[in-house]
Structures are given as C-alpha cells and as structure tokens.
Amino acid sequence: MASSSSSVASSGFSAATKAETFRIAGTKCWACSTTAPEIRHVVPHHDPQIPVWEQAGLFTFDYEHTHNSIPLCGSCHTEFDMSLDPGYVFFPADIQYFIDFERQDRARREQAAADTAVHISTFSRQVPTSVDYKKHEINSNRVSPTAIGGRYSRVFLKQFLHSGEIPGVEKTFSTAKEWHGAPLASIRRAFAALSSPRFFIIVDTNTRHMLEELRQLYFSDDRLSSELILLRDVYRPQARTSQKHQLENQTNDDSARYDKKAEGQDTGFARALGAANHDGYNEWVLGPESTTNDIVKLYAPVFSST
C-alpha cells in the first residue's frame, strides 16, 4: 500500500476530503469490499470532456470534493479508469428519475424562454444533486432516511476480481449500493461505457435504452459551445445535401474531362484498367502487355495535379 504522502499526490484529494470520504462511504473498496482502498476521482481532473459537460450545465460540483470521491482498491480503480475498455462502471439505479427530471426542467426552461422571448439556452439547466436523488429514493421507500445517498447499480464488465479465479464472485457485489456523490459524475462514466460491446452484452436492454435516452436529452439542445455547434452543422442533413450536390457537380466535371482524355485508348490500356477495377485486389495495375503510352495515359491526372 502506498504511503499517505504518495497517495495524496496520486489522487489529488486533500487529507480532509479523504478522511470525510472514508467516514461517509466506509474504509473498504466501494466496488468489491477489499480492504485498504484509496480515495479516487469519479470524474478525473484530466477528463477532456469536462468543458462539454460544464457548457451543457451538467457538471456543477467541485471535482476535489466528496461529491466526486469514492474508495476503490487498486484493481477496481484500474478497470474503472480504463476509458477505452472499462471493466467496471456504476450509475444511478433509478435512471427514469433523471429522465423525468430533465424533461420537467426542459419544460420549465422552454416556458421561461417563451415568456421572455429569449433563447432557451439563456436559462440555467437544473440537474439532480446527491441530495435530490437521495430525497427521491427516500420518498420512494428505496433507502432509509439514514442512507448516505441514493442507490447505484454496480456493473462488472470483466472478471478481474481475484484474477478471475473465482467464477461468479461478481454476483456478490452486483447489487445496488448507496453512494454519497454527485449522480452526474457516475452518469458521465456510464455514457462512456455505452459504446463498449461488453456493456451491450452484459447490461439489460431496458437500462441501456434509458441511458441512451438520457444522453439524448442532455445533449440535444443548444447548450453547446460555438465550436461544437459549428461542427454539428457540418454533418446536419441540409449541409450534407448541399455538400453532396457540390461534390456531384465536381465529380461530373472531372469525369467528363477524364472521358475526353481517355478517348482513343488502345486495347492494352483497356486491359490495364480492367485489371485495376477487378473485384479482387491486385498489387499490379498495368499488365505485361501495357505500353509506355498506357502508363502516361493512366497516371496523367496524378502527374498534372502535383
């Protein structure tokens, strides 16, 4: 186990935040109950998507506060932080609550925009905090008033516990568990895991669909940076249709010019083109019967463009 000084440097949390996290969440790994965990970030400070989520009004918590902290052992932390192929992820057990909350908040913002004749993006988005989610869970009789927070689904996407030597051990830790932090921090991780084939295979269809719906709700309005809006518009159907017409016109012009140049090709050149356009891939384009003139005609467009 790393010394306290080195662990502070590695995790970035203050000693006070670490102590408070252990007090709230316990001194074992939140994921697998292994002893001697470290306090880790749910949203790491180097996450390149932080500006996008902040611009959308989704991240409103302190990244170095207990809202973003969780005790994890070395193995769970490694798999949790493996962004390209995560082996562990957690997210709110009641995703429908967040969908309903966002729909209601969007209706509020749309009404305010209509009343004041200003764009909806002018009005701040409201998202559920840890207190909001816990209150909802208490009112739904899913957690007790003394709970540290709402329930979260724990999903193992790989058999890495005990090096995979105890098949099925993950089931012991797959039940929903209370967590004290900001719900949106865990949702950020869930959205990232949505692209994983492991997530697609392991997580039930209804849960995946609800997460996809929530992602659509969170990022479908115009609370985006000018850079993202510009890039988005490049790929909108109207823009793509216009670009397609321009490309088709250019292609037709190029084809006409090429056809004119290709008039009078001899049979050797025709055979060369036939070899190049064959369904199977050929390493050679010009055959043994090709002439120097064939080569010049075939590569003239390349030479003229350089």
Instruction: Quote the percentage of the chain above a pLDDT of 90.
Output: 57
Tens of pLDDT, residue by residue over 151-168, are: 999 999 998 886 554 566
Tens of pLDDT, residue by residue over 248-278, are: 666 566 555 555 555 544 455 445 445 445 4
In a domain, 88, yes or no: yes
Identity (one letter) of the amino acid at 204? D
In a domain, 271, yes or no: no
In a domain, 148, yes or no: yes
Tell whether the model's pLDDT for residue 119 goes beyond 80.
no
pTM of the model: 0.73
The boundaries of the domain holding residue 159 are: 15-233
pLDDT of residue 214: 98
DSSP code per residue over 224-256: S-HHHHHHHHHTSHHHHHHHHHHHHHHHHHHHH
Compute CA 123 distance to the chain's CA centroid, rounded to the nearest angstrom. 25
Average pLDDT, whole number, for the chain? Answer: 82
Tell whether the model's pLDDT for residue 224 goes beyond 90.
no
In a domain, 289, yes or no: no
* 3-state SS assignment for residue 71: strand
The total number of structural domains that make up the chain: 1
Cα distances (angstroms) measured from residue 66 to each of 8, 39, 89, 228: 14, 10, 18, 31
In a domain, 105, yes or no: yes
More confident residue, 235 or 207: 207
In a domain, 9, yes or no: no
pLDDT of residue 297: 79
Query: Which DSSP helix (H) or strand (E) runs through 156?
Result: strand 151-156
**Are 92 and 153 a contacting pair, CB within 8 Å?**
yes
In a domain, 272, yes or no: no
Dihedral pair phi/psi, residue 151, rounded to 5°: -85, 145
In a domain, 31, yes or no: yes
Nearest to 67 by CA among 6, 106, 20: 20
